[in-house]
Amino acid sequence: MSRAWIALGGNLGDRAALLAGAVERLRARGIAPLRLSHAYETAPESAAAEPPYLNAVCEAETALPPRELLRALQEIEAALGRPAPHVPGPRTVDLDLLSYDDLVLEEPGLILPHPRLHRRGFVLVPLCELNVHWRHPHVGLEGGELLAALALAPGEVRLHGPLPVGVEASSGASRR
């Protein structure tokens, strides 16, 4: 089994319920959620007028190879009403494959670890909640070091609370 880190986000509809539904659909696809961060609310990255996002990170185990895992994530997005991947703008659910074991990979349509992971507070805060010592396999720094380098503004990533799913929600940063 491989360990995957998956970012979840969305800013349309019942955001918490949609993210929880995405986690449940992971299970149905043979992707076993191990732990789930709390949800965090953030402003959209774009300057366009969009509602705020809810974001979380899921640590999961899977036997699916990276390309198949990515395809499963995209199919879950589509089933939950997301337009085609890479279409900018508001979305019901966005699932990003952040990392897969310690794999460093660059192929058309799949880059691991996620190329913007280390520059996104809305990803690093929930990731560090689960494992502050997670090490970026390409950059070589731990999650806590990457997060500290961002110097987020107060309130930029706000705790929203747990998502309504049957996965252990973290109570703080893990030392795993």
Which among 165, 119, 159, 160 is positioned nearest to 143, based on CA atoms?
119
Quote the CA–CA distance of 64 and 30 in Å, as a whole number. Answer: 8
Is residue 52 domain-resident? yes
Is residue 34 domain-resident? yes
Catalytic residue (one of 71, 94, 116, 175) = 94
94 is annotated as an active-site residue: yes
In this prediction, residue 85 has a pLDDT band, given cuts at 50, 70 and 90, of: low
Is residue 176 domain-resident? no
Quote the CA–CA distance of 99 and 163 in Å, as a whole number. Answer: 22
Is residue 143 domain-resident? yes
119 is annotated as an active-site residue: no
Catalytic residue (one of 15, 25, 67, 91) = 91
Contact 64, 74 (CB under 8 A): no
The CATH number of whichever domain residue 164 belongs to comes to 3.30.70.560
Number of domains in the chain: 1
Is residue 27 domain-resident? yes
82 is annotated as an active-site residue: yes
Across the range 31-38, mean pLDDT stands at 96
Is residue 10 domain-resident? yes
Q: CA 123, 124, 130, 135 torsion: positive or negative?
A: positive
Is residue 138 domain-resident? yes
Across the range 47-55, mean pLDDT stands at 86
In this prediction, residue 109 has a pLDDT band, given cuts at 50, 70 and 90, of: very high
Beta bridge partners of 57: 7
Quote the CA–CA distance of 34 and 143 in Å, as a whole number. Answer: 19
Q: What is the DSSP letter of 170?
A: P
- Burial label for 117, CB within 10 Å (0-12, 13-18, 19+), is buried
Is residue 31 domain-resident? yes
Structural domain range at position 93: 2-169
* pTM summary value: 0.91
In this structure, which amino acid lies at residue 100?
Y
